[in-house]
Amino acid sequence: MPIDPAPAFRRKLSDAFLRTVSEPGKYADGEVPGLYLQVQASLKPHKPASKYWRMKYRLHGKENVYAIGRYPDIGLKDARELARAARRDVANHTAPPKDETGQTSGSVTQ
């Protein structure tokens, strides 16, 4: 279900799918608008693909990407929670929070 560049089909992502997906691409979540898992192939042989949570959003007429974090460090439930919080920020005309390096990224609070 790769979605480059715009998703034609969205489905609710599942933990089983996230564990097994290895095909490079972007996989949209049908539950939280803008949330997707970006899968990148490894350059080293026999190394698993890297998986990153991202959320696409538009603020002040400009399209942006919120870097939530790496899967499986951030699971599906937490990624959805962080994406929903970021969407609330955007609805209030505020960009999602940035990390220490100035990059827009999410973090899980325990």
Q: What contacts 37, CB < 8 A, 6 or more positions away?
A: 13, 18, 21, 26, 27, 29, 51, 52, 53, 54, 71
Across the range 3-10, mean pLDDT stands at 49
Tens-digit pLDDT profile for residues 25-76: 999 999 999 999 999 998 888 889 999 999 999 999 999 999 999 999 999 9
Q: What is the pLDDT of residue 11?
A: 78
The domain at 15-91 falls in which architecture? 2-Layer Sandwich (3.30)
Q: What is the pLDDT of residue 66?
A: 96
Q: Which residue has the higher pLDDT, 7 or 12?
A: 12
Peptide bond into 5 cis (omega under 30): yes
- Residue ranges per domain, the chain? 15-91
Q: What is the pLDDT of residue 106?
A: 57
Examine the pLDDT at 88 and tell me if it is beyond 80: yes
